[in-house]
């Protein structure tokens, strides 16, 4: 990649999108030039720099698959995965911002939204609005359909009451996809997806979690007290919320896989440079066969995860069944990321345990991979059911 900073041009990035290699190089150049200098400060402040968010929008990185008629880049899901991977090599916190927007929110609005909903929200999501996905509650994590948030009809409107937890992007979001049950008696078949705007009366953003990793990414509680929503802002039909959740989360798992391979690659990149410089017993520690073997094994496991993630993304773009491949990709990549980043901390010795070197942050960031958008046990269950049905 040359140094003319063509990544700064949205039109240039759009033209690159047809060439995956050029697109990847452009995103990498952007991440190194604009995100890398801010990583430590954003982690300490627990906030993504507002000027960086504006730049990401201006470059079209929050609307990879949104059609051009709505102001998007109209590119592929695979390019969304490349985007998440490359940003994660520098900062997984920024990567999850674009991940949730592209693989969860945008896809749900486009696939399940009416023509009116698409016209109202997609141009805003492409240009300035951050979206958030509000599914989990205190009593419904892995049991996502055990949610207690309820919506009751009032004329042509619906009134929502409840609390949501672990809402990524909640602090910055202008719009939330809120899942509520319109008829708890029939269980998950009553779950409905509502589009709730930030300024809706009765909506407030609660406690912001103080997290182990991806600290710049906001994770907050969402409180809904008699929030009135018109029927026109339902995604899909009444009672189809469980379908919206399942389909979008299946895609989201591939995005988390991309985040994990990206951060593992970032940690490994720093470690390969470090072990060539660090000397012990009169030679670089990279000359020791024991260290070489560890690096080789880590790189092999990382590449296996990358192939699983890429395969799932390709299947999704081709309209083929990707349920089990997506679960496999998330399962393998999240476990791999913890293993690889742990090794990278070890190979840095005492320095690896300090914030002076970036591997400490990659290690902290990796832990979330086995938890959000479906825990490891849930992925195993999905894979087993898919194989044995």
If you write DSSP's letter for every residue of 145-162 in order, what string do you get? GG---EEEEETTEEEEEE
Burial of 339 (0-12, 13-18, 19+ CB in 10 A): middle
- Kindly state whether residue 2 falls inside one of the protein's structural domains: no
Non-local (6+) Cβ contacts of 234 within 8 A are 158, 192, 193, 194, 195
Is 80 exceeded by the pLDDT of residue 18?
Answer: no
Say whether both 111 and 141 belong to one domain.
no
Say whether both 247 and 384 belong to one domain.
yes
Say whether both 304 and 379 belong to one domain.
yes
The pTM for the full model equals: 0.95
Q: Provide the pLDDT for residue 2.
A: 42
Say whether both 208 and 297 belong to one domain.
no
Residues annotated catalytic, as ranges: 373
Helix and strand element counts for the chain (H, E): 13, 10
Percentage of residues of the chain with pLDDT beyond 70:
95
Q: Provide the pLDDT for residue 146.
A: 87
Say whether both 225 and 98 belong to one domain.
no
Cα 64 to chain centroid distance, Å, stands at: 14
Q: Burial letters for 156-179: b for 16+ Cβ neighbours within 10 Å, e otherwise?
A: ebbbbbbebbbbbbbbbbbbbbbb
Give the structural domain span for 273.
Answer: 243-388
Tally the C-alpha atoms within 13 A of residue 271's C-alpha that lie toward its C-beta. 29
Tally the C-alpha atoms within 13 A of residue 221's C-alpha that lie toward its C-beta. 11
* 347: CATH: 1.20.140.10
Q: Provide the pLDDT for residue 385.
A: 97
Domain end residue (candidates: 103, 130, 157): 130
Say whether both 321 and 354 belong to one domain.
yes
Say whether both 119 and 168 belong to one domain.
no
At 389, the pLDDT band (50, 70, 90 cuts) reads confident
Domain end residue (candidates: 218, 237, 256): 237
Q: Each residue of 81-123: pLDDT tens digit?
A: 999 999 999 999 999 999 999 999 999 999 999 999 999 999 9
Is 90 exceeded by the pLDDT of residue 20?
Answer: no
Q: Where are the alpha helices (DSSP H) in 63-149?
A: 77-88, 92-99, 107-112, 115-127
Can you read off the two tokens belonging to residue 90? 């520098």
């Amino acid at each position: 990649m040359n140094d003319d900073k063509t990544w700064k041009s949205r039109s240039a990035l759009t033209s690159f999108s047809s060439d995956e290699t050029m697109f990847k190089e452009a995103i990498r150049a952007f991440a190194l030039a604009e995100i890398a200098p801010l990583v430590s400060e954003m982690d300490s402040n627990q906030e993504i720099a507002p000027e960086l968010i504006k730049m990401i929008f201006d470059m079209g990185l929050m609307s990879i698959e949104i059609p051009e008629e709505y102001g998007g880049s109209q590119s592929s899901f695979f390019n969304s995965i490349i985007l998440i991977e490359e940003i994660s090599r520098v900062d997984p916190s920024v990567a999850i911002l674009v991940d949730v927007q592209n693989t969860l929110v945008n896809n749900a609005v486009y696939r399940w939204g009416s023509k009116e909903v698409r016209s109202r929200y997609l141009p805003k999501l492409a240009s300035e609005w951050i979206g958030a996905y509000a599914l989990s509650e205190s009593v419904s994590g892995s049991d996502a359909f055990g949610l207690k948030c309820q919506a009751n009809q009032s004329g042509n409107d619906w009134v929502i009451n409840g609390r949501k937890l672990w809402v990524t992007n909640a602090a910055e979001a202008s719009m939330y996809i809120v899942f509520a049950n319109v008829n708890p008696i029939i269980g998950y078949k009553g779950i409905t997806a509502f589009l709730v705007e930030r300024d809706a009366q009765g909506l407030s953003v609660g406690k912001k979690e103080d997290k182990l990793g991806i600290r710049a990414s906001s994770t907050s509680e969402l409180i809904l007290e008699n929030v009135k929503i018109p029927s026109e802002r339902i995604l899909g039909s009444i009672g189809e919320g469980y379908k919206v959740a399942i389909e979008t989360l299946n895609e989201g798992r591939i995005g988390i896989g991309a985040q994990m391979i990206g951060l593992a690659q970032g940690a490994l990149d720093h470690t390969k440079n470090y072990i060539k410089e660090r000397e012990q017993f009169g030679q670089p520690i990279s000359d020791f066969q024991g260290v070489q073997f560890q690096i080789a094994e880590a790189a092999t496991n990382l590449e296996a995860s990358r192939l699983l993630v890429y395969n799932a993304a390709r299947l999704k773009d081709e309209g083929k069944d990707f349920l089990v491949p997506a679960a496999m990709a998330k399962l393998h990549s999240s476990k791999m990321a913890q293993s690889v980043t742990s090794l990278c901390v070890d190979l840095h010795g005492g320095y690896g345990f300090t914030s002076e070197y970036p591997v400490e942050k990659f290690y902290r960031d990796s832990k979330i991979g086995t938890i959000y958008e479906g825990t490891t046990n849930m992925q195993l269950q999905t894979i087993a059911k898919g194989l044995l049905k």
